[in-house]
């Protein structure tokens, strides 16, 4: 069965080595999203990228990087995303955060 609707996508762009209280920042964000009951969260590791520092991070063999770009993606309804953003204020995220409206198609298997 296919379900269709609208939602909002929160994307948080950070570096792999970013920390919060000696824990990976991406892990802290995912666990907070889970605790708040959001629909889901995924962390995607980039193979190459740069941000405000203009320093390129890459997985290429000659420049092995342990500080690759990450994107944390969370999709839920607009109000839940807005509320969750307020919960992230104490993390002092140094990165880019975007929120966009999206159309959601959810496929469910047989009962």
- Which of these ranges, 23-27, 54-58, 69-73, 86-90, has the smallest mean pLDDT? 54-58
Give the H or E element holding residue 45: strand 41-45
Predicted local confidence at residue 7, as pLDDT:
94
Q: CA 36 from chain center: how many Å? A: 15
pLDDT mean over 67-96: 92
Predicted local confidence at residue 47, as pLDDT:
79
Please tell me the pTM assigned to this model.
0.83
Domain encompassing residue 14: 2-107
DSSP-assigned letter for residue 47: S
Predicted local confidence at residue 94, as pLDDT:
86
| Residue 107 buriedness (CB in 10 A; 0-12 / 13-18 / 19+) | exposed
pLDDT mean over 21-43: 96
In the chain, what percentage of residues exceed pLDDT 70?
80
Q: How many domains does the chain divide into?
A: 1
CATH code, domain with 18 = 3.30.70.120
| Virtual torsion, Cα 85, 93, 15, 98, nearest 10 deg | 40
């Amino acid at each position: 069965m296919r379900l269709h609707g609208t939602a909002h996508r929160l994307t948080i762009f950070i570096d792999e080595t970013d920390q919060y209280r000696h824990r990976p920042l991406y892990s802290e964000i995912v666990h907070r999203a889970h605790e708040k009951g959001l629909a889901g969260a995924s962390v995607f590791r980039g193979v190459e990228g740069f941000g405000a520092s203009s320093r390129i991070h890459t997985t290429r063999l000659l420049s092995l990087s342990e500080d690759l770009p990450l994107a944390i993606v969370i999709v839920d309804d607009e109000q839940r995303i807005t509320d969750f953003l307020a919960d992230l204020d104490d993390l002092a995220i140094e990165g880019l955060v975007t929120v966009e409206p999206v159309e959601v198609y959810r496929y469910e298997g047989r009962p």
